[in-house]
């Protein structure tokens, strides 16, 4: 049984850049920090907390709407974001000189979103130690692009349901059964933020391979491979299916996998695609012992059929223990191990849903 190499991941938070553009992670990483707390060069009277929105060249921008969130806010939760302003119903929109007043209820660290014509032109951090002090913050817009594409799981399993979201913002999108998502137009650097996915997945197919004991001592061991029903697949996918029952104590004990027989067992299947689960069952022939519960294995790399003088079989399959390597198998889970894979037209997403230790040889 062979295992694939460990896959490197893009960190949710990047290292700090030059002082003019400081990238920071707030409570796990939610936004950027651009010259926050730096006084504006224009001599203007500031009362309370205010902001000035400019483009990359420093030119003030009018009509930019600001939204505020706490860094821990999860837009996928279904809950409304907390009201952070004294006048919750009052919109914050930059004027002709780029200025906007921010009437906060309390001091703290927040994520601020700038929106223009339906496009998010920046996510940034707003750190306010005291709302009584008059302070002007500067926010710079960024280049934007459409963030839409396909979500894939490293395991190769199918996504039954899910949503992609950016923590500390109001941005989230449903993922359909084909793995497609559309977050809309966002700054190009959202990969530095806490992008997460909440999803439920299942194997692309489930096979059961059963060993047939030879009738004579010198006869070779043979296996039969068959696809099982949806109900049986759910049973195989359940963690309790990883156990047999001891005849001595009638207590569940971990089922043992004879790795020397795995490749031989897999060769009995005509195809094994990535994301499929194969349940290897080895009967013992011991009367009265429950021995029809196998050990499910997850195929993490396509196993290609090979034709030889001995027929067509699977030459090599890269498999890992299913229940051990897929946390919360069959249940909804949340992952922040997100890799953005942008191209000129799409931004595909790869999710590491297999435990780290299982991806190392």
For every residue of 20-64, DSSP letters joined together read TSB---STT----BSSTTPPPSS-----SEEEEEE-TTS-B-SS-
Asked if residue 276 belongs to a domain, the reply is yes
What mean pLDDT value characterizes the chain? 77
Residue with the two structure tokens 């297999």: 354
Tell me what the mean pLDDT of segment 252-278 comes to. 72
Asked if residue 219 belongs to a domain, the reply is yes
Q: What domain range includes position 320?
A: 206-325
Cα angle value 37/39/44 (rounded, 5°):
135
| Residue whose C-alpha is closest to residue 273's, from 231, 238, 317, 237 | 317
User: With left for phi above 0 and alpha for psi between -120 and 50, is residue 204 left, alpha or beta?
Assistant: alpha
Q: Is the per-residue pLDDT at 170 higher than 90?
A: yes
- For residue 115, the 8-state DSSP code is E
Asked if residue 216 belongs to a domain, the reply is yes
| Residue whose C-alpha is closest to residue 181's, from 202, 195, 167 | 195
Task: Give residue 16's pLDDT.
Answer: 28
Task: Give residue 289's pLDDT.
Answer: 46
Q: How far apart are CA 353 and CA 269, in angstroms?
A: 25
Give the whole-number percent of the chain exceeding pLDDT 70: 69
Asked if residue 240 belongs to a domain, the reply is yes
Kindly report which listed range (55-64, 87-96, 143-152, 210-219) carries the lowest average pLDDT score.
210-219
Residue 168 contacts residue 141 (beta carbons within 8 Å):
no
Residue 124 contacts residue 71 (beta carbons within 8 Å):
no
As a whole number of Å, the CA-based R_g of the chain is 27
Higher-confidence residue: 203 or 292?
Answer: 203
Residue 211 contacts residue 221 (beta carbons within 8 Å):
yes
Confidence of residue 344 (pLDDT cuts 50, 70, 90): confident
Q: How far apart are CA 47 and CA 39, in angstroms?
A: 13
Confidence of residue 11 (pLDDT cuts 50, 70, 90): very low
The pTM of the full predicted model, rounded to 2 decimals, is: 0.74
Asked if residue 352 belongs to a domain, the reply is no
Q: Is the per-residue pLDDT at 247 higher than 50?
A: no
Name the 3-class secondary structure at 96: coil
Asked if residue 231 belongs to a domain, the reply is yes
Confidence of residue 84 (pLDDT cuts 50, 70, 90): very high
State the DSSP H helix or E strand holding residue 265, giving kind and residue range, or none if neither. helix 262-266
Residue 155 contacts residue 318 (beta carbons within 8 Å):
no
> Which class for 250: exposed (0-12), middle (13-18), buried (19 or more C-beta within 10 A)?
exposed
Task: Give residue 74's pLDDT.
Answer: 96
Tell me what the mean pLDDT of segment 79-103 comes to. 92
Q: Is the per-residue pLDDT at 317 higher than 60?
A: yes
Q: How far apart are CA 272 and CA 129, in angstroms?
A: 58
Asked if residue 4 belongs to a domain, the reply is no
Q: How far apart are CA 149 and CA 175, in angstroms?
A: 10
102: Cα within 13 Å, side-chain hemisphere? 34
By residue count, the chain amounts to 361
Asked if residue 241 belongs to a domain, the reply is yes
Tell me what the mean pLDDT of segment 182-201 comes to. 92
- For residue 348, the 8-state DSSP code is E
Task: Give residue 28's pLDDT.
Answer: 33
Kindly report which listed range (19-33, 156-170, 203-217, 328-342) carries the lowest average pLDDT score.
19-33
The tally of domains found in the chain comes to 1
Confidence of residue 221 (pLDDT cuts 50, 70, 90): confident
Task: Give residue 306's pLDDT.
Answer: 64
């Amino acid at each position: 049984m062979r295992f694939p190499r460990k896959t490197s991941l893009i960190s949710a938070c990047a290292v700090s850049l030059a002082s003019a553009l400081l990238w920071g992670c707030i409570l796990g990483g939610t936004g950027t920090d651009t010259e926050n707390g730096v006084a504006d060069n224009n001599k203007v009277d500031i009362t309370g907390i205010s902001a000035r929105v400019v483009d990359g060249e420093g030119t003030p921008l009018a009509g930019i709407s600001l939204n505020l969130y706490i860094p821990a806010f999860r837009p996928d939760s279904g809950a409304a974001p907390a009201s952070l302003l004294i006048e919750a119903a009052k919109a914050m929109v930059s004027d002709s000189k780029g200025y906007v007043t921010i009437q906060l209820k309390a001091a703290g660290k927040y994520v601020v979103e700038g929106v223009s014509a339906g496009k998010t032109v920046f996510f940034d951090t707003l750190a306010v130690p005291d709302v009584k002090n008059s302070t002007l913050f500067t926010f710079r817009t960024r280049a934007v692009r459409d963030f839409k594409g396909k979500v894939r799981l490293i395991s190769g399993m199918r996504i039954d349901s899910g949503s992609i979201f950016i923590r500390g913002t109001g941005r989230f999108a449903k993922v359909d059964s084909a793995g497609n998502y559309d977050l809309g137009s966002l700054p190009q650097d959202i990969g530095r933020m806490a992008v997460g996915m909440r999803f439920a997945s299942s194997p692309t197919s489930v096979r059961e391979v059963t060993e047939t004991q030879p009738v004579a001592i010198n006869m070779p061991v043979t296996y039969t491979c068959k696809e099982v029903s949806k109900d049986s697949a759910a049973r195989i996918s359940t963690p309790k299916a990883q156990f047999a029952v001891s005849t001595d104590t009638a207590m569940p004990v971990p089922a043992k996998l004879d790795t020397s027989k795995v490749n031989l067992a897999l060769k009995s299947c005509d195809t094994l695609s990535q994301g499929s689960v194969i349940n290897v069952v080895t009967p013992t022939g011991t009367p009265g012992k429950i021995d029809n519960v196998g050990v499910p294995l997850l195929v993490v790399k396509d196993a290609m059929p090979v034709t030889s003088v001995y027929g067509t079989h699977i030459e090599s399959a890269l498999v890992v223990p299913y229940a051990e390597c897929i946390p919360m198998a069959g249940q909804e889970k949340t992952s922040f191990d997100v890799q953005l894979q942008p191209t000129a037209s799409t931004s595909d997403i790869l999710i590491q849903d297999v435990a780290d230790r299982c991806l190392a040889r």
